[in-house]
Structure 1
Amino acid sequence: MRKVQWGVLSTAQIGTNHVIPAMQKGELSHIAAIASRGLDKAQAAAAALGIERAYGSYEDLLADPAIEAVYNPLPNHLHVPWSLKALEAGKHVLCEKPVALTAAEAETLAAAATRTGKVVAEAFMVRHHPQWRIAKEIVDSGRIGAARAIQTVFAYHLTDPSNIRNQAGIGGGGLYDIGCYAIATARTIFGGEPERVAGLFDIDPMLGTDRMVSGLAAFGDGRTLGFVCGTQLVPCQRVEILGTKGRIEIAIPFNAPNDLPGRIAVDDGRDLTGGGREVITVPLADQYTLQGDAVSRAILREAPLAWGLDDAVANMRVIDAFFRAARSGGWERP
């Protein structure tokens, strides 16, 4: 079975700790090279991960004719510039989320993907975990009645000013880093786009980043997403989908462990003590492995991407609207 030959731009921790080891377990993905701004760093990462080639610049990796596709886990402000360079070098791209800093940037990337004929995917790994497919199937089946409200919490505690997530000038902050998950998953569950959004932003006075965002997104027909994302809160993840006849609770919605089965609880609400609660066990899965193979499958033209750049652009429009709402103090339309 032929595997797509992948190169990785940078030795970022999301790649070396999670995505690369997971893709190496895939059926269709082979990590053939890694690049850093320093050759020593690239060689150290290659040795640790069993990657055969290391490059001391991103340009050298893109010039490797054997590399078919590039994984881009660079800081947010470099997502579009280096993804564009990869496309111009004839490579397919898997780019970390958010794919851009604005919808306009995302549209530029989408236009380049169309012009070059290459596959470009946004790395929302959670979409590939079976627990989200199961949750969507339950909603669509009508088991919980009409889905009306999604409540999402995603938080961690990080105050290190040297961490890219805490650097406002390069796309740091909670909404870009983790609030985007709440938006993307709600759009999937509701199967549509929000009509308007509003948000309260708590800005760190020293870092200048949004350390907490409380957001509302109205999807029409009485459907609402309410979420809190925070970068200086106690670590927490929770998603509840409430319908007219029941509710769904996803135990670890975003950083699902690859060594434990998932759990989805469905409760018909007959009482407040869980009398109508059923827990569904989700088989073991590595969402990063599944993501890598899904993109490789699209590159090999075995199956199309379930979520293309049109979806990435739509998600960025909602993020843009939340930032506008932070400035206006009112409702904004994506």
Structure 2
Amino acid sequence: MAVRIGVIGTSDVAKRRMIPAIKASRNFEYAGVAIAASAEWDEPHTEDAYALMLGRKQAKAQEFVGLFGGKVYGGYEELIRSADVDAVYIPLPPSLHYKWGKCALEHGKHVLMEKPFCVAGAQTEELVALAKRNNLALTENYGFVYHSQFKKIKELYAGGELGELREIRATFGFPHRAATDFRYSRTYGGGALLDCGGYTVKAACQFLRSPELVFASLTKPAGYEVDLFGSAVLRESGTNALLSFGMDNAYKCEFALWGSCGEVFSTRAFTAPDDFESTVTLCTKSGKQVIPCGTCNQFLACLDSFYNLIASGAVRDEEYKALCLQSGLLSAIEARGTADV
């Protein structure tokens, strides 16, 4: 039977990518979308201000109904408490993930969290412990790890094409966005590390089981509340992972493994559109080979993984560990690397 999933908030990523993937999935049924009730709105507000915001959110929610069907819930907790919902997808600003993820788990709902999972490692550990106690699936949407090109990179490495792994390189950055974007707000859990930096950490951890942090640098220019760009180095058993990220940078979205016998890399590693004809490039002593990997809906692939976690408790422990490792490394990088300029 299909898992009935509801969406907390009318985010752009839900509209463009996740709900279309839910509708395309054979494992999930889209239940609807929730807008914040007055008591749930995350900013101080007057009744008039809330009424204005509510009008905008209701209009957007009705747009969702027109596009996808489903129901509009008049509050986040109303959706979470609904007997017609088995799981929730939470694409709110990062600072709200812990609160609403905890609420969902306390009410027996499986949780798919938009990245980053939480803004602090301790919050992630608490939610993982709660999910374990309540026998619930818990994951975050780093869908690129399920993409066909990333699977090909793993296959080439596992097959010995690269020899011994010497270095991992992951780079993700994009130009400055609008000043009102939540990514530039400390209150909402913004910052380059938590946004684009998380991709690079997640990618490295597909090949490192328990790396140590050996270097971190985060730069917060004058006039900004959050870091705009940074870098980090992870190390495990002689292999270094060199990570770079930024949200005031020229666009770059690259991942590479460099080994004793060869290198493999992708130049659109993390955010490939569904119709993107992906490739990876393999360089060995035999020459350079561009390997087609085809198209892939990584949001749909992420949902397939989420469904497996829901269906089988036996596979959840590895995901619980991965969530804590990811969040713990992000917290360590933040603690070690923060600097104002």
TM above 0.5, yes or no, is yes
1:254 corresponds in structure 2 to 270
Structure 2 residue identity aligned to 1:116: N
Q: Secondary structure at the match of 1:188?
A: coil
**Cα pair 1:94 1:120 within 8 Å, conserved:** yes
Shift of 1:327: 4.6
1:241 corresponds in structure 2 to 257
Q: 1:232 aligns with which of 241, 248, 267?
A: 248
Structure 2 residue identity aligned to 1:220: S
**Cα pair 2:135 2:313 within 8 Å, conserved:** no
1:280 corresponds in structure 2 to 291
2:236 corresponds in structure 1 to 219
Shift of 1:251: 2.7
1:61 and 2:61 are equivalent in the alignment: no
1:313 corresponds in structure 2 to 324
Q: Secondary structure at the match of 2:223?
A: coil
Q: Secondary structure at the match of 1:189?
A: coil
1:58-83 CA deviation, whole Å, 9 max, x = no partner? 01111210100000111101111101
1:175 corresponds in structure 2 to 193
Residues 102 and 8 (structure 1), Cα distance of their counterparts in 2 relative to 1, 3 Å cut: same
2:29 corresponds in structure 1 to 30
**Cα pair 1:197 1:322 within 8 Å, conserved:** no
**Equivalent residues in 2 for 1:1-334, closer than 5 Å:** 2-37=1-36, 38=54, 40-41=58-59, 43-190=61-208, 192-221=209-238, 223-268=239-284, 270=285, 276-301=287-312, 304=315, 308-327=319-338
Structure 2 residue identity aligned to 1:253: A
1:248-298 CA deviation, whole Å, 9 max, x = no partner? 011310011211221011101x4xxxx711111113210001111221233
Structure 1 residue identity aligned to 2:17: H
Shift of 1:169: 2.2
Shift of 1:46: 2.5
Residues 284 and 302 (structure 1), Cα distance of their counterparts in 2 relative to 1, 3 Å cut: farther
**Cα pair 1:92 1:119 within 8 Å, conserved:** yes
1:332 corresponds in structure 2 to none
Counterparts of 1:320 and 1:188, CA distance in 2: 18
Structure 2: runs of 5 or more not aligned: 37-53
Counterparts of 2:93 and 2:325, CA distance in 1: 21
Residues 321 and 303 (structure 1), Cα distance of their counterparts in 2 relative to 1, 3 Å cut: closer
1:66-122 CA deviation, whole Å, 9 max, x = no partner? 100000111101111101101112211101111111111111001110111111112
Compare 250-259 and 298-307 and name the one that shifted more. Answer: 298-307
**Cα pair 1:199 1:326 within 8 Å, conserved:** yes
The percentage of aligned residue pairs carrying the same residue is: 25
**Cα pair 1:34 1:51 within 8 Å, conserved:** no
Residues 306 and 287 (structure 1), Cα distance of their counterparts in 2 relative to 1, 3 Å cut: farther
**Cα pair 1:36 1:57 within 8 Å, conserved:** yes
Counterparts of 2:297 and 2:338, CA distance in 1: 39
**Cα pair 1:75 1:170 within 8 Å, conserved:** yes
TM-score, normalising length: structure 2: 0.89
**Cα pair 1:249 1:265 within 8 Å, conserved:** yes
Shift of 1:328: 8.9
**Cα pair 1:26 1:290 within 8 Å, conserved:** no
Root-mean-square deviation (CA), in Å?
A: 2.0
Shift of 1:197: 2.8
Counterparts of 2:295 and 2:314, CA distance in 1: 23
Compare 26-35 and 154-163 and name the one that shifted more. Answer: 154-163
Q: Secondary structure at the match of 2:250?
A: strand
Compare 123-132 and 68-77 and name the one that shifted more. Answer: 123-132
Counterparts of 2:79 and 2:60, CA distance in 1: 11
